[in-house]
Amino acid sequence: MENKFIVSSSPHIRSNEDTSYIMKQVVFALLPAAIAGLYYFRLSALYVMFFCILGTVGSEYIWEKITKQKSTIGDFSAVVTGLLLAFNVPASLPWWMCLLGGVFAIVVVKMMFGGIGNNFVNPALAARAFLLASFPVPMTKWTETGVNWVAGSAADAVTTATPLSFLKSGAAGLQGLTDNGISMMDLLVGNIGGCVGETCAVLLLLGGVYLIYKGIISYIMPLCYLATIFILTFLLGGFNIQFAVSEILAGGVMLGGFFMLTDYTTSPMTKKGQIIYAVLAGIICSVIRLYGGYPEGCSYSILLANVMTPLIDKYVNNRVFGEVAK
Considering the domain boundaries, does residue 301 fall inside one?
yes
Quote the pLDDT of residue 322. Answer: 57
- The domain of 243 spans 163-315
- Indicate whether 127 and 186 sit together in one domain: no
C-alpha 216: how far from chain center = 16
Burial of 2 (0-12, 13-18, 19+ CB in 10 A): exposed
- Indicate whether 309 and 194 sit together in one domain: yes
List for the chain the helix, strand, coil content (%; round to 5): 60, 0, 35
- Indicate whether 112 and 46 sit together in one domain: yes
Nearest to 195 by CA among 8, 13, 40: 40
Quote the pLDDT of residue 232. Answer: 97
- Indicate whether 239 and 195 sit together in one domain: yes
Q: Which amino acid is at 265?
A: T
Is the model's pLDDT at 37 over the cut of 90? yes
Considering the domain boundaries, does residue 170 fall inside one?
yes
Q: What percent of the chain has pLDDT over 90?
A: 69
CB 129 within 8 A of CB 20: no
- Indicate whether 94 and 179 sit together in one domain: no
Tell me which of 105, 140, 175 is where a domain ends.
140
- Indicate whether 127 and 188 sit together in one domain: no
Is the model's pLDDT at 225 over the cut of 90? yes
Number of domains comprising the chain = 2
Quote the pLDDT of residue 94. Answer: 95
Quote the pLDDT of residue 68. Answer: 92
- Indicate whether 222 and 122 sit together in one domain: no
C-alpha 116: how far from chain center = 17
Alpha-helical runs (H) found in 67-200: 77-87, 95-103, 123-134, 163-167, 173-179, 184-189
Q: Which residue would you say has higher pLDDT here, 247 or 320?
A: 247
Considering the domain boundaries, does residue 13 fall inside one?
no
- Indicate whether 167 and 128 sit together in one domain: no
- Indicate whether 186 and 116 sit together in one domain: no
Phi, psi dihedrals of residue 89, rounded to the nearest 5° = -125, 160
Is the model's pLDDT at 155 over the cut of 50? no
- Indicate whether 195 and 284 sit together in one domain: yes
Considering the domain boundaries, does residue 269 fall inside one?
yes
Lowest mean pLDDT among 12-21, 111-120, 260-269, 294-303: 12-21
Is the model's pLDDT at 9 over the cut of 50? no
Quote the pLDDT of residue 320. Answer: 57
Considering the domain boundaries, does residue 320 fall inside one?
no
C-alpha 45: how far from chain center = 16
pTM: predicted TM-score of the whole model, two decimal places: 0.89
DSSP string, 62-80: HHHHHTTPPP-GGGSHHHH
DSSP string, 196-218: TTTS-HHHHHHHHHHHHHTTSS-
pLDDT tens-digit map of 176-218: 888 888 888 988 998 888 899 888 999 999 999 999 999 999 9
Quote the pLDDT of residue 161. Answer: 67
- Indicate whether 188 and 136 sit together in one domain: no
* Residue 21 pLDDT class (50, 70, 90 cuts): very high
pLDDT tens-digit map of 119-144: 999 999 999 999 999 999 999 888 77
Q: How far apart are CA 83 and CA 86, in angstroms?
A: 5
Phi, psi dihedrals of residue 2, rounded to the nearest 5° = -90, 130
Quote the pLDDT of residue 172. Answer: 78
Q: What Rg value do the Cα atoms of the chain yield, rounded?
A: 20
Considering the domain boundaries, does residue 150 fall inside one?
no
Q: Which amino acid is at 231?
A: I
- Indicate whether 127 and 182 sit together in one domain: no
Is the model's pLDDT at 33 over the cut of 90? yes
Nearest to 285 by CA among 323, 312, 255, 314: 255
Helices 77-87 and 95-103 cross at an angle (nearest 10°) of 130
